[in-house]
């Protein structure tokens, strides 16, 4: 593209390369396809998102300091692996920690607090990963996988039933909000700069 260097193009490409499969997952949910297919699609998109963020950071670093271009390229793969491993460990640790809390505490006697702590527990791995400059999305994914096996079964039956419906409602609301917000942002923007080269 004119006026864009190779690094600029790669930086933009890394931003738009990670495809969000929310729309596909919604369609798959209505068609009642195999649950494993939905999990694979979601997991693949999360890994793509994490890799895209790291690649974008590499190219931003090159733009900020062109002299370190070779060093940045050399560190890209170890950085991606480090982020993946670190994020998964944080998510797994948080899930086991909250499973231990729900198993050994008396939160069952206070359903409102039990449900609130369970819902807020999803934010903890994201916050820790974000502070450590890792992938919060990947951390939440691994925390969710482990929580499904361990934490969820230590909740009371009432909390299990309630959290299932609350999470489903929040998920639908979030998806709807994102699509409405994107549509409104497109039409409320005063000027658009279309580049056919990027569309192709």
Domain count, the chain: 1
Per-residue pLDDT, averaged over 4-30, amounts to 73
Is residue 50 one of the residues assigned to a domain? yes
Whether the pLDDT of residue 1 is over 60: the answer is no
Give the pLDDT of residue 66.
65
Specify the higher pLDDT residue, 192 or 109: 109
Give per-residue pLDDT as tens, 65-86. 766 656 666 766 787 788 888 9
Is residue 73 one of the residues assigned to a domain? yes
**What are the C-alpha distances in Å from 151 to residues 118, 119, 179, 190?**
9, 12, 31, 48
Is residue 91 one of the residues assigned to a domain? yes
Nearest of 139, 108, 109, 107 to residue 123 by alpha carbon: 139
> Residue 111: is it exposed, middle or buried by C-beta count within 10 angstroms (0-12/13-18/19+)?
middle
Is residue 112 one of the residues assigned to a domain? yes
Using CA atoms, how far apart are residues 49 and 135, in angstroms rounded to an integer?
9
Is residue 32 one of the residues assigned to a domain? yes
Per-residue pLDDT, averaged over 124-144, amounts to 88
**Close Cβ partners of 78 (under 8 Å, ≥ 6 residues apart):** none
Range of the domain at 157: 6-199
**What are the C-alpha distances in Å from 90 to residues 54, 57, 75, 103?**
18, 21, 22, 20
Q: Do 138 and 81 meet the contact criterion of CB atoms below 8 Å apart?
A: no
Is residue 48 one of the residues assigned to a domain? yes
Is residue 1 one of the residues assigned to a domain? no
Whether the pLDDT of residue 124 is over 90: the answer is yes
Give the pLDDT of residue 199.
64
Is residue 71 one of the residues assigned to a domain? yes
**What are the C-alpha distances in Å from 105 to residues 98, 100, 113, 118?**
10, 8, 12, 13
Q: How many CB atoms lie within 10 A of CB 159?
A: 22
Give per-residue pLDDT as tens, 165-197. 888 888 788 878 887 887 888 788 777 676 676
Give the pLDDT of residue 23.
65
Give the pLDDT of residue 21.
65
Whose tokens are 């690649």? That residue is 55
Give per-residue pLDDT as tens, 18-66. 666 666 677 777 777 787 887 787 777 777 777 777 777 777 777 777 6
Specify the higher pLDDT residue, 76 or 137: 137
Using CA atoms, how far apart are residues 37 and 32, in angstroms rounded to an integer?
11
């Amino acid at each position: 593209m004119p006026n864009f260097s190779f690094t600029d193009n790669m930086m933009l490409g890394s931003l738009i390369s990670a495809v969000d499969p929310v729309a596909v997952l919604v369609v798959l949910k209505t068609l009642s396809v195999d649950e494993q297919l939905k999990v694979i699609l979601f997991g693949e998109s999360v890994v793509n998102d994490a890799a895209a963020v790291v690649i974008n950071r590499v190219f931003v670093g090159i733009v900020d300091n062109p002299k370190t271009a070779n060093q940045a390229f050399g560190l890209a793969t170890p950085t991606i692996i480090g982020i993946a491993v670190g994020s998964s460990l944080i998510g797994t640790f948080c899930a086991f920690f909250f499973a231990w809390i729900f198993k050994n505490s008396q939160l069952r006697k206070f359903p409102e607090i039990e449900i609130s702590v369970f819902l807020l527990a999803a934010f903890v791995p994201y916050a820790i990963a974000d502070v450590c400059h890792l992938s919060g999305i990947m951390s939440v994914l691994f925390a969710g996988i482990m929580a499904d096996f361990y934490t969820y079964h230590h909740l009371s039956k009432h909390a299990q039933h309630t959290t299932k419906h609350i999470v489903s409602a929040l998920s639908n609301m979030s998806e709807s909000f994102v699509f409405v917000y994107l549509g409104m942002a497109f039409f409320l923007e005063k000027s658009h700069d279309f580049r056919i080269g990027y569309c192709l």
